Amino acid sequence: MNILFIYPNLSTFIAKDINFLKSKHSVLLFEFNVKSKWQTPTVLVKQFFFLLRNIWSADLILVTFSSYHTFLPCLFSKFFRKKSIIVVGGVDAHKFPEISYGNFSKPLLSTVTNMNYKLCDVIFPKHKSLVFCEYNYFNVKFIQQGIRAFCSVPKAKFVVIENGYNNEYWKCKNFSKVEYSFITVGSHLHLEREFYRKGIDLICQLARTFDYCSFTIIGGKSLPIQQIPSNVILLDHIDNNGLIDYYCKSEFYLQLSIAEGFPNSLCESMLCECIPIGANCFGIPDIIGESGYILNNRSIDELIALTHKAINERTLSHGANARKRISNLYTEKLRFEKLDAGINQLFIL
């Protein structure tokens, strides 16, 4: 079939989905990449004419993430009677006004997001919690989270398709773990919202207690060094090959986010045999399972106790179990199979 694939930027995981779809279908791409908000109207005009030129021969419009770039594709699909799918990542299912995070926290974007979900034919969230869940990790106003908490969309419209990973790429080779080493990965951490959302404040507090441990924050180069403990290492963004090196040297991976969808770095680090310590929210507990440790509440005292437990219990088998879990449950092959089945089912209905 002919697919119009619309995405905000070409991340590794979007690229993998595109390559898979190209192996089976004719795929025409439109990148809605804006470097600043003032560019949005210009790119919207370009998107309008792209859709107008190509909608006639299209069978399906597939859009990654629900935002302003999703509205015209869904509207066109409805008007021209074409099928449409939205792939949901996380922020497009959340409402956390406490940290100004989530599409549903912003009035205009919330309205657009709501319309997108009602206009499209099918929604592919990366975890079931993005459909609906009860949130109790952090004290927030909106305990009910997920798309159905803020938008009246029927359950039948959702097909959950988790991310998938290449366990032959993400693996340790000739590295040995550095004792008492912790790592986390983030982006835009200089923004207060992302600093707290990713739990970097907790990591800094943890570092002050565990002064004999090292804590590496990849993507944290822009953080003010004078406010960071001396045993915290701040690094700039690193490509995947470099990430593997750091994962393979680290004993533990910290995913202490207030909100996530299906965090890639957590899964990649587990494939590199890092012992995971993660927050009790959204997809994180399902990813970790019995292979690591879950912080039930956003509390530094609980985190300190949990970290003591993790350090005292750690063995090489813990890291091996983490790798085994991702290798068994979240493979590229399984994601592609579900993606293929979800698209085919849309045309059978």
For residue range 24-45, what is the model confidence (pLDDT) as tens digits? 999 999 999 888 888 899 999 9
* pLDDT of 73: 98
Is 80 exceeded by the pLDDT of residue 105? yes
Decide if 150 contacts 114 (C-beta within 8 A). Answer: yes
Task: Report the 10 Å Cβ neighbour count for 188.
Answer: 12
% the chain with pLDDT above 90:
91
pLDDT higher than 70, residue 217: yes
Closest-CA residue to 250 (of 295, 310, 193, 296): 310
Task: Report which of 59, 149, 127 is spatially closest to residue 282, judged by C-alpha positions.
Answer: 127
- Which string of b and e fits 230-247 if b means at least 16 CB within 10 Å? ebbbbeeeeeeeebbebb
- When computed from its CA atoms, the radius of gyration of the chain, rounded to whole angstroms, is 21
Structure tokens at 218: 């990849």
The C-alpha atoms of residue 188 and residue 40 are separated, in whole angstroms, by 20
Mean pLDDT calculated for residue range 60-80: 97
pLDDT at 349: 61
The yes-or-no verdict on residue 201 having pLDDT over 90 is yes
Residues 6 or more apart in contact with residue 337 via CB below 8 angstroms? none
From CA 115, how far away is CA 314, in angstroms rounded? 48
Asked if residue 7 has pLDDT above 90, the reply is yes
Give the pLDDT of residue 36: 82
E strands, 136-273, are 144-145, 181-185, 214-218, 232-235, 252-255
Q: What is the pTM of this model?
A: 0.94
Assess whether pLDDT exceeds 80 at residue 89.
Answer: yes
Is the pLDDT confidence value at 187 over 80? yes
- Is the confidence at residue 292, as pLDDT, over 90? yes
Do 102 and 56 meet the contact criterion of CB atoms below 8 Å apart? no
Structure confidence by residue, pLDDT tens digits, 112-167: 999 999 999 999 999 999 999 999 999 999 999 999 999 999 999 999 999 999 99
Query: If you average pLDDT over residues 57-81, what whole number do you get?
Result: 97
Question: Is residue 296 scored above 80 in pLDDT?
Answer: yes
Using the predicted structure, report yes or no on whether residue 348 has a pLDDT greater than 90. no
Question: What pLDDT score does 129 carry?
Answer: 97
Residues in the chain: 349
**Cα-based torsion angle of the residue sequence 287, 23, 32, 97 in order, rounded to the nearest 10 degrees:** -20
Distance CA 249, CA 246 (A): 5
List, for residues 225-283, the tens digit of each pLDDT value. 777 999 999 999 999 999 999 999 999 999 999 999 999 999 999 999 999 999 999 99
Q: Are 29 and 18 in contact (CB under 8 A)?
A: yes
How high is the pLDDT of residue 135? 97
Q: Is residue 315 very low, low, confident or very high in pLDDT (cuts 50, 70, 90)? A: confident
User: Mean pLDDT across the chain, nearest whole number?
Assistant: 95
Predicted confidence at residue 86, as pLDDT, reads: 98
pLDDT in the model for residue 90? 95
Mean of the pLDDT values across residues 289-307?
A: 97
How many C-beta atoms lie closer than 10 Å to residue 328's C-beta?
A: 10
Whether residue 229 contacts residue 207, with contact meaning beta carbons closer than 8 Å, is answered with: yes
Q: Within its chain, how far is the Cα of 116 from the centroid?
A: 20
Domains of the chain: 2-164+332-348 (3.40.50.2000), 181-329 (3.40.50.2000)
Q: Can you say whether the dihedral through the CA atoms of 145, 150, 156, 157 is positive or negative?
A: negative
Which pair of structure tokens corresponds to residue 54? 């190509």
